[in-house]
Chain A
Amino acid sequence: MGETKMLVVVLLLLIIFMGIAAFLFYLEKRLAHAEKELKSLKDAEEKKAAEK
């Protein structure tokens, strides 16, 4: 009984940790997207300023 309980705890912790890791990868993907967008906005602004 005790061992089964421990196995359930381990499984739960594994799932939680994998969830955190998956979330971090998702966050990095979103960050890369936002970085790209902001960079293009900044480049457009610099271009505009140079034209002026």
Chain B
Amino acid sequence: MDQVKKNWWKLTGIVLLLYVIVGGLLFDVPQLDNLLQSIRSIYFHVGMWFGMIFILGVGLVFSIRYLSTSDPKDDLRALSAVKTGLLFGFLGLLTGMIWAKFTWGAFWLNDPKLNGAVVGVFIYLAYMVLRSSVDDREKRAKLAAVYSIFAFVLFIVFIMILPRTATFSIHPGIESNPALVPGDLAAEMRPVFYPAMIGWFIMSYWLYRIMFRVSVLAEMTKELSENKKTEG
């Protein structure tokens, strides 16, 4: 019982996503030209992207916090959030590519949102490269925190602002916020879509927490072995 109390939010996320798998694949969806049954991907593909944006936002908050506190744990929190965000980003790209293949006949199309998304992922990959190129811990953390702030802003520009300046996209949303504006999403899809979003948020936060704990353990092990070396 204690475990249930302690892990209630994780269990909620699991139950929500189990419901999304069942509802997403079995419940009724509108029959639209071209999209047909592939519209069901929205519960997974969009959910993963939302989870990624949410967790990258968490990374941004910790990067800003690191600049004011200089607490190494905040740097590790930001790093873990970016790692989780990248994982969700790759999953989002993969599910999007599969969706595109069945709807548009190709894994990749010259679409402003698709190109923006991949550029956004590359911006965060550069964050990882930047971190690995600086040896001094404090310098690395400061540099990464500043970069992370710019990266998030650029990311939003590439996936939300620039695609709206295009004249055509296979993605909805040039004129509004797709799936969030009332009337944009079919009524029969909402009972699955909204729980899916909450479920993916919880999943991304859970994975982020695990990544953070692994990072802290790795740092502690490194510290202990360094101390032993200096003693020796």
Partner of A42, one of B7, B21, B210, B220: B220
A residues near B137, Cβ cutoff 8 Å: none
Distance from B18 Cβ to chain A, minimum over Cβ atoms (Å)? 6
Distance from B83 Cβ to chain A, minimum over Cβ atoms (Å)? 15
Contact A38 B206 (CB under 8 A): no
A14 vs B17: C-alpha distance when bound (angstroms): 9
B interface size (C-beta, 8 A):
20
B87 CB-CB contact with A under 8 Å: no
| Residues A17 and B21 in contact in the complex (CB < 8 Å), given A27-B210, A28-B210, A35-B213 | yes
Contact B214 A38 (CB under 8 A): no
A39 vs B7: C-alpha distance when bound (angstroms): 23
Partner of B26, one of A10, A27, A34, A41: A10
Residues of A with Cβ closer than 8 Å to B? 6-7, 9-10, 13-14, 17-18, 21, 24-25, 27-28, 31, 34-35, 38, 41-42, 45
Q: Provide a sorted-by-A list of 26 A–B residue pairs whose CB atoms are within 8 angstroms.
A: A6-B25, A13-B25, A14-B18, A14-B22, A17-B14, A18-B14, A18-B18, A21-B14, A24-B10, A24-B206, A25-B7, A25-B10, A27-B210, A28-B210, A31-B213, A31-B214, A31-B217, A35-B213, A35-B216, A35-B217, A38-B217, A38-B220, A41-B224, A42-B220, A42-B224, A45-B224
